[in-house]
Structure 1
Amino acid sequence: MLAAAVERVQAEGLLLDYANLGMEDLIRVAGVPRSTVFRIWPDRVAFVSDVVRALFEADPGFDAGFDGETLQVLQAAIAQGDETAGGGRDRDAVLRQAVRLAVTHNIVAVERSLAYRAYRTMSAALMSGDSVPGGEEVRALLVEIESRYLERMAAAYRALNDALGLRMRPGLDARNLAVAVMATIDGMSDHRRIDPTQMDTPLSVAIGRDDAEEWHVAALAVYGVYTMFTEPVDP
């Protein structure tokens, strides 16, 4: 049943009302006993929750906190930070490059992620109230997925901070930063689906003493969040 549902979501996406994951239809496709299916999943919401959990756990970016290419960009920035440790301006430049390149890539990569699209669909279903399947089961699943994902993001930010000689400002921690960045990317991604041209048009911006470079608006937003949440260990 799960394999048949995942295959269908891969082909069609997850519809807002989960209409393409009808239990009776999938029972026929999977060729499994109906009584067994409803003993395992008493309703469609429970089944969809397991489908979405399976999608996330099969996504390599879920375990890492970022998709593979975005993680490589961050790791390259950490390596560069190791080489330039001790120089305040170099540290700031490395952070800017890491954020500028990683976010520009990530804002596109999340749209290619089947797990992320399913997550956003379930979020929309939850906000839609009683008109679609959802409720507390969906909320509990999203809390679980977000919590696990945020921990991985926070770990990546701790590593980046350590490499660049940064720390969280008093009263804040890396998980707070992960929440703020995730909310920024989610919001930007929503607007990008509506008007990709407006969102993806590069902005030529000079920051500090650097020459002007092309920035995605989401990268600028995340850079602003990151710098407000962190401070140098040795000012």
Structure 2
Amino acid sequence: MLEAAVERVKSEGLLLDYANIELENLIRTAGVPRSTVFRIWPDRMAFIADLVRALFEADPGFEAGFDGETLGMLQQAFGAPAGATRSAEEKQVALRAAVRVAVAHNIVAVENSMAWRAYKTMSAALASGDAVPGGDEIRTLLGEIEDRYVDRMSALYAQLNAAVGIRMRDGVTEGDLALAIMSVIDGMADHRRINPPFVDRARRVEMGPEGPMDWHLAGLAVYGVYAAFTEERDDETATAGEEP
């Protein structure tokens, strides 16, 4: 049943009223016993909740925080020869390089993710103000998915901060940073679907000694959030910490 539903979501997406996820239709498609299906899932919303969990858990980008290519870009930006040291300025240059390249790629990867499209559909259904089938259950499910994603991203940002020699400002946490950046990407992806040429147009901006560079608008926004939420560690803190 879940395999049949995943294939349907791949080809059709998840409709706002979940009309394309009907149990009786999927039972015929999957060729499974009807009695067994209703013993496992007493109603359609119970099935949809398991379907959305399956979509996210099968997405390696959700499990790792980023898709594989974006993670590779981050590792390359922060990769340094064994024993090499970097000044505070060089680490900030590395941070900007990571954000500039990774965000421009990740916003496209996110939009093309089947799991993320399902998440957006369910979010839009809840935000519409209309009666949504299983609204309370869907809100609980989306909260669970967001919490898990923020936990993963918090751990990743803690590693990046250690590598770059920065820390969170007093009053905010890596979880706050993860939620703020997720909101930026989420909103930017919405505008990108409406007006991609405006959002994707490169902005040539000078941020530091690396000189003028082409930035995606989402990259600039994410770097602005990162800079606002973090500060340079003092020498004593930086020496005590270990880079990942």
Length-normalised TM-score, structure 1: 0.95
Q: Which amino acid aligns with 2:64?
A: A
> Partners in 2 of 1:125 and 1:46 — Cα distance?
17
Query: What's the Cα RMSD here?
Result: 1.6
Q: How far apart are 1:81 and its partner, in Å?
A: 9.6
> Partners in 1 of 2:83 and 2:144 — Cα distance?
38
Length-normalised TM-score, structure 2: 0.91
- 1:58 alignment partner in structure 2: 58
Question: In proportion to residue count, which structure has more helix?
Answer: 1
2:171 counterpart SS class: coil
- 1:134 alignment partner in structure 2: 134
Q: Which amino acid aligns with 2:46?
A: A
> Partners in 1 of 2:138 and 2:181 — Cα distance?
23
Q: Is the 8 A contact 1:125 1:134 kept in 2?
A: no
> Partners in 1 of 2:166 and 2:119 — Cα distance?
32
Superimposed CA distance per residue, residues 10-43 of structure 1 (whole angstroms, 9 cap, x where no aligned partner): 1111111111111111111111222222222222
Q: How far apart are 1:82 and its partner, in Å?
A: 7.8
Q: Is the 8 A contact 1:6 1:55 kept in 2?
A: yes
Q: How far apart are 1:128 and its partner, in Å?
A: 2.1
For structure 2, list consecutive stretches of 5 or more residues without a partner in the other structure: 236-244
Q: Which amino acid aligns with 2:5?
A: A
> Partners in 1 of 2:6 and 2:90 — Cα distance?
46
1:21 counterpart SS class: coil
**Residues 1-235 of structure 1: matches in 2 within 5 Å?**
1-80=1-80, 85-234=85-234
Deviates more, 1:1-10 or 1:216-225: 1-10
1:20 counterpart SS class: coil
Q: Which amino acid aligns with 1:108?
A: V
Superimposed CA distance per residue, residues 163-195 of structure 1 (whole angstroms, 9 cap, x where no aligned partner): 111111011111110000000000000110111
Aligned residues: 235
The alignment-based identity, stated in percent, is 62
